[in-house]
Amino acid sequence: MIYESTGPLETLRFAKHYSEQGLNVNIVLFGPMGVMLAKKDKAGALEYDQKIDECMNLGVNFMCCKLGSSLVGLKYEEMIPGIEMVEPEAIADTILEFSQKQQLIITL
């Protein structure tokens, strides 16, 4: 699987920055291409797995949509360790929770 896009790298860069500033950062991976970021050992020139590990080591939480994963055949065993597989309802609840607290939400 070759995965090349700079959009996710920007998200990871900002997640790392905000986490270093002491903010609680959650990244939600959804949709067929979004969930592919959760796949470990992706081929390609960009070092996604390393950047995700760096973010996790800073306390960034990753949630991956189970529905999106099923659309592309991504199994939990194929994911980067530490990324949580969640139901779509959990993603909706998370977005609602953070919106009600007037906290920052970024989507790409």
**86 three-class SS:** strand
Q: Average pLDDT of 37-53?
A: 84
Is 40 inside a domain boundary?
A: yes
Q: Residue 79 sits in which domain range?
A: 7-100
Neighbours of 73 (CB within 10 A): 7
Is 71 inside a domain boundary?
A: yes
- Residue type at 65 in one-letter notation: C
> What does pTM read for this prediction?
0.86
47 or 22, which is more confident? 22
Question: How much is the mean pLDDT over the chain?
Answer: 88
Number of H helices, E strands in the chain: 5, 3
Q: What is the CATH number of the domain that holds 60?
A: 3.40.1260.10
Number of domain units in the chain? 1
Give CA separation, 45 vs 2, 42, 80, 97, in Å: 9, 9, 18, 36
Whole-angstrom Cα distance, residue 38 to residue 52?
Answer: 9
